[in-house]
Amino acid sequence: MATCVPAVSGALHYGVTNCKGHSYRRSASFSDVPNTGFLQKDLSWSKVVSKVLQIHRCGFSAPPLHKDQKLFKVISSWKKDSPTKYFDFIVIGSGIAGLRYALEVAKYGSVAVITKAESHECNTNYAQGGVSAVLCPSDSVESHIKDTIVAGAYLCDEESVRVVCTEGPERVRELIAMGASFDHGEDGNLHLMREGGHSHHRIVHAADMTGKEIERALLKEVISNPRIFVFEHHFAIDLLTCQDRSDMICLGVDTLNSKTLEVIRFLSKVTLLASGGAGHIYPKTTNPLVATGDGIAMAHRAQAVISNMEFVQFHPTALADEGLPIKPTKPRENAFLITEAVRGDGGILYNFGMERFMPLYDERAELAPRDVVARSIDDQLKKRHEKYVLLDISHKPKEEILSHFPNIASTCLQYGLDITRRPIPVVPAAHYMCGGVQAGLQGETNVKGLYVAGEVACTGLHGANRLASNSLLEALVFARRAVQPSVDHMKGSSLDLTASNLWPRPVVPLPLGSNVTDKIMSTTKELRAELQSIMWDYVGIVRSTMRLETAEQKIGSLEAKWEESLFQHGWKPTMVGPEICEMRNLFCCAKLVVSSALSRHESRGLHYTVDFPYLEESKRLPTIIFPSSPVNSTWSSRQLHKQPMYQ
């Protein structure tokens, strides 16, 4: 498992493995970093990255990148093509971050957008609320900065917050110029909503389907761009990395076409990870099925630094199916989100006794940040032994409700609930990872050629708790900021066409036969549900050291049981399949969350532990997981193949 420590003054150690498998120790000195608090420019995320692992440019001397001219615009599941493809830029993920980045870098070269399912199936598409940006004269960037830092429990990186809040309005205007259609008021100006934690109305939205509208506009631009090629149903397995002395270099990614079961290798000078979060480490999540932490796990296996994984945001208000007049006929793949904007628009939370309870917990009541509201609901449910609470917006005019929340109203009505007349049953659900792959101010990581943007990244913006509607904003800003360094890296390096031979190819387990494969898949499905239950029961909204240690032990035993079952049935460490790859990633991310949570001995933002119930000023620092030697690691925490030495 990784070495997980809070960032402190002094020497921090992490393991590094070279191409021959020899492990050795290196120290990253933080002696010049003050430990008096995180909101200081001396401890900016970009400086943490450079101090932890110094990045050196690797001088390739090879022919220029070959551009494959035989590709179609969208590579569908039935299309056969070369098993190795070469591009100037690779983008893993087709959400707002990946698409926005692709449109910019396409001005400088060829781009492959690799997406796990259909192009639109991503967290962006499920984002109901909107994009927060200062677009009203009565609002200010300073106010947005303050709201973000307060919501983030003062763990935010101030430089990152200032960058996002300052550049955000221009990024929103760019979306509008591309054709994204947002709601306007009767005065013709943008209709701005207010959500929990915000001091002003600054949420740009398209009714309660903002993410879907942004995704539509971006996909339209991407599909019409002749330099961007979209590969649907391509599951990213592992990043292709090699070592040059102490530097780790990313040269692309291996993927599995989940329809044809072909392994396709993508080689590139630059890779952007924009693969979203890991909501499905929990059984109840608002995330789509594709959100299994693939990017975070791949980056961890590729020796990238990971930060703040203990801060898992539980959205306070997901639809509680148990409280619907007509129950769904089958369990949902993901919880249906009831947007923050319902509370921002005047929605009130009640318990079963129709007692308004939020003022008992926080003076901001329903407009308190998400971590406060989620814990308050959790407390009510446990004290009253109830399964959900009620969110009531029915006191507002019917026309206004239907205008602002048409998707929510329509979905609830399918199950016999008219939200203009009755309250909505809601319960917290896993929603957003505030931690992820540690990124600098330009989306750079400690792995050369690898950039990150969106939920997979930890930029320091969110701190210990994300402010509502700051996620889409962050994705836009950092996708744009990653462009110039990516282009510079692409122009300053070349890629040897023989690089494809550096790594053996993963293999599909066809020789095992359908009976054995079916047994493996059945066991994996069963243990996946068990892993999710462990995370919900022991690593949920309220934690304790004993429960976290129990989770660590149970997850370790479960993973060992899974691996033993796999390999006893003839599965090889180099074999791949969609369900198996997802399980690897879920185990990896679950362990990262537990390890990070155990290392934070305070309660801050989304991490609340009964053993350390108070904020500790001395612990106002990010939690950093350094790369570790894969020698004794489990299968989920190491790459399928050892990193070769690039010469």
State which H helix or E strand residue 375 sits in.
Answer: helix 370-384
Place of tokens 């120290």: 27
Q: How many CB atoms lie within 10 A of CB 150?
A: 16
Q: Are 506 and 574 in contact (CB under 8 A)?
A: yes
Instruction: Based on the residue annotation, tell me whether 202 is a catalytic residue of this protein.
Output: no
Residue type, 506: P
- Tell me how far apart the alpha carbons of residues 8 and 459 are, in angstroms, rounded to a whole number: 18
Burial class (CB in 10 A: 0-12, 13-18, 19+), 396: middle
- Tell me how far apart the alpha carbons of residues 433 and 450 are, in angstroms, rounded to a whole number: 20
Structure token pair of residue 137: 């004269």
Q: Are strands 450-452 and 262-273 parallel, antiparallel or unpaired?
A: parallel
Q: DSSP label at 504?
A: P
Place of tokens 């993508």: 266
Place of tokens 């070469």: 86
- Considering 171, 194, 202, 370, which one is annotated as catalytic? 370
- Tell me how far apart the alpha carbons of residues 95 and 214 are, in angstroms, rounded to a whole number: 9
Q: How many residues would you count in the chain?
A: 647
Structure token pair of residue 94: 């087709």
Q: Are 464 and 435 in contact (CB under 8 A)?
A: no
Q: How many CB atoms lie within 10 A of CB 330?
A: 6
- Cα separations in angstroms, 396 against 85, 198, 386: 55, 21, 27
Place of tokens 């090629």: 229
State which H helix or E strand residue 104 sits in.
Answer: helix 96-105
Q: DSSP label at 101?
A: H
Place of tokens 């003022």: 359
Structure token pair of residue 501: 């031979």
Burial class (CB in 10 A: 0-12, 13-18, 19+), 501: exposed
Q: Are 592 and 296 in contact (CB under 8 A)?
A: yes
- Tell me how far apart the alpha carbons of residues 232 and 216 are, in angstroms, rounded to a whole number: 16
**Positions marked catalytic:** 370
